[in-house]
Amino acid sequence: MASGLRSRYVNLLTSGSHLLLLAIAFEINTRPVWTACFVLIALISFFAWTSNFRRAQAIADTPTSKIASAAQGYVELYGSARSNQDLIHAEDNSFPCVWYRHATYGTQHTGLTWRSSWWLSAFLNWDLVDETVSETLFEINDGSGVCFIDPDDAEIITTHRRTWNDGDYRHVEEQLFASDHIYVLGEFHTVGGTHAQLGLKEDMIALLADWKRNTHQLMERFDLNKDGEIDLQEWELARREALREVQKIHNELHQAPGAHVMRKPASGQLYLISNLSPQQIKRKYLWWSWAHLIIFFAGLGGLIATGAL
């Protein structure tokens, strides 16, 4: 979960790093330092631009599927959230929800002089003390079916965020509620039903081993000549009967409805959960990509101004 959540704050972290680099350049105020500062700003912004653009492109290129007819693999779903069990709480005084992240920050000393630290305090004066993230599965329903959502290792964007201070500590709580419409981009997998992976031979051997453990019933059922032993002909009869029973069970399992699950793609592709619509999320990533592209060119402009280019 931690890796997915860190990626959620990449844009804020890169913005903070830009300010920190400028603070250092202002503090030392020499041409080599300014040059290094602009090089780092340009590099950071370039990678942030590509990251946001790829995310926007992944959302744009993946059409929204219906749960009942979604193909196995990388898909996009959009439906109403609900809990498959009791709703959960981040803290005793928080609202019940289907997912939460609760982080506690403590004040820290940055070591910067007053000239630079006053405008960087919003980024640098808090240190993460504790973090709790729920890993409970929840469901979404799009009218055609229900899909379980596994939030583990997901990048989660939510509009439900509240912050409060308690002495020297700051608490930040993010949640997804059962009333939310949830967008999910990830790996769609159906467990059971027609997609059930069943081994006919293995299950038949297991069933025969179970019959062997109950010798009395085995003899009563397959000792046709009543000589107190199961000969080769009788054992072949038992094997055929076990095969028929296993095939019947497998047919019933394949006919039963499967459970749909959304999870992090094994390929490493973006796994995203949000209570924003696909259009809103795509615009958000495009906005950040343009912002970082502008900063990238600003960094190049700074290099020209310092004479490095």
Would you say residue 69 has pLDDT above 80?
A: yes
Residue-wise pLDDT for 1-43, tens only, equals 444 444 455 555 566 677 777 777 777 878 888 888 888 888 8
Q: Residue 195 has what pLDDT?
A: 59
Domain ranges of the chain: 2-192+258-305, 195-255
48-62 burial, b for 16+ CB within 10 Å, e for fewer? bbebbbebbebbeeb
Question: What phi, psi does 102 have (nearest 5°)?
Answer: -120, 120
Euclidean distance between CA atoms 165 and 241, whole angstroms? 69
Place of tokens 């997912």: 99
**Closest Cα to residue 238, out of 249, 215, 224, 222?**
222
Place of tokens 């409060």: 164
What count of other Cβ atoms lies within 10 Å of the Cβ of residue 174?
A: 22
Question: What phi, psi does 243 have (nearest 5°)?
Answer: -60, -45
Q: What does the angle CA 163 – CA 164 – CA 165 come to, to the nearest 5 degrees? A: 140
Residue 142 is classified by DSSP as -
Which alpha helices (DSSP H) does 62-183 contain, by range? 114-124
Amino acid at 223: D
Within the chain, what is the greatest distance between any pair of CA atoms?
A: 102
Euclidean distance between CA atoms 52 and 284, whole angstroms? 9
- Joined tokens for residue 137: 């599965």
Euclidean distance between CA atoms 99 and 270, whole angstroms? 19
Q: Residue 121 has what pLDDT?
A: 47
- Integer CA distances (angstroms), 194 to 73, 76, 197, 262, 265, in order: 15, 21, 9, 17, 21
Residues paired with 156 in a beta bridge = 273
CB 296 within 8 A of CB 32: no
What is the percent of the chain with per-residue pLDDT over 70, rounded to a whole number? 82
Place of tokens 């340009």: 42
Residue-wise pLDDT for 246-285, tens only, equals 877 767 666 656 688 999 998 888 899 999 998 898 888 8
Euclidean distance between CA atoms 212 and 307, whole angstroms? 86
Rounded mean pLDDT of 144-152?
A: 92
- Joined tokens for residue 258: 């499967």
Residue-wise pLDDT for 74-107, tens only, equals 999 999 998 766 788 777 667 889 999 988 888 7
**What are the counts of helices (DSSP H) followed by strands (DSSP E) for the chain?**
8, 11
Q: Residue 252 has what pLDDT?
A: 66
Euclidean distance between CA atoms 276 and 308, whole angstroms? 43
Q: Which helix (H) or strand (E) holds 261?
A: strand 259-263
CB 52 within 8 A of CB 285: yes
